[in-house]
DNA sequence: GCCAACGTTGGC
DNA sequence: GCCAACGTTGGC
């Protein structure tokens, strides 16, 4: 099982909207590194949902319900999407500042590579963030 | 709203 | 294949 983190700007696609929809295809990724990470997602993998810009915090957990396939919003075969569904909201959102302040999370791409929108997490990092949300 | 970081594009 | 110019992302 792998763990990931995806970013979304709440104005574009918020956690609330995601829960209303119940399921969505994760489109709009136009970065090769992020795309490659999406291609590694398998059904059942867990994904943290992060709000960028407004909020700047991890707000919930999602799961992969369908592996990658051609992005239906473009003809360009370079780009793919995965299907995600909400699992649960975090009791307390974990802010970027909290993550930055946590030594064991200093290496995650959210800190090191600010612009990457889909990233892989180690299971220990995933667990740590969940723990911080309790 | 500004600006730093960084990925992408295109001229050479 | 290098590198400057440009565009975009995202924190502040």
- Model pLDDT, residue A101: 94
Q: Would you say the C-beta of A74 is within 7 Å of strand B?
A: no
Q: Would you say the C-beta of A27 is within 7 Å of strand C?
A: no
* Nearest partner of A99 among A61, A64, A62, A130, judged by Cα: A130
Residue A31 (CA) to nucleotide B3 (C1'), in angstroms, measures: 22
**Hey, how many other C-beta atoms are within 10 angstroms of the C-beta on A51?**
22
Domains of chain A: 3-128 (3.10.590.10)
Instruction: Give the nucleotide with minimal C1' distance to the Cα of A31.
Output: B7
Residue A134 (CA) to nucleotide B8 (C1'), in angstroms, measures: 41
- Model pLDDT, residue A100: 94
pLDDT tens digits for chain A (134 residues)? 999 999 999 989 999 999 999 999 999 999 999 999 999 999 999 999 999 988 899 999 999 999 999 999 888 888 999 999 999 999 999 999 999 999 999 999 999 999 999 999 999 999 999 999 99
Q: Which two tokens stand for residue A18?
A: 């995601």
């Amino acid at each position: 099982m792998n763990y990931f983190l995806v970013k979304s700007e709440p104005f574009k696609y918020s956690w609330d909207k995601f829960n209303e929809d119940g399921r969505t295809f994760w489109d709009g990724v136009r970065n090769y590194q992020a795309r490659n990470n999406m291609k590694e997602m398998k059904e059942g993998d867990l994904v943290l949902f992060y709000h960028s810009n407004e909020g700047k915090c991890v707000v919930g957990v999602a799961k992969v319900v369908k592996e990658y396939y051609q992005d239906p919003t473009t003809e360009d075969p370079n780009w793919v999407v995965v299907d995600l569904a909400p699992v649960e909201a975090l009791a307390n959102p974990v802010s970027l500042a909290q993550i930055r302040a946590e030594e064991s999370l200093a290496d995650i791409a959210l800190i090191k590579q600010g612009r990457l929108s889909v990233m892989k997490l180690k299971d220990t990092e995933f667990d740590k963030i969940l723990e911080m949300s309790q």
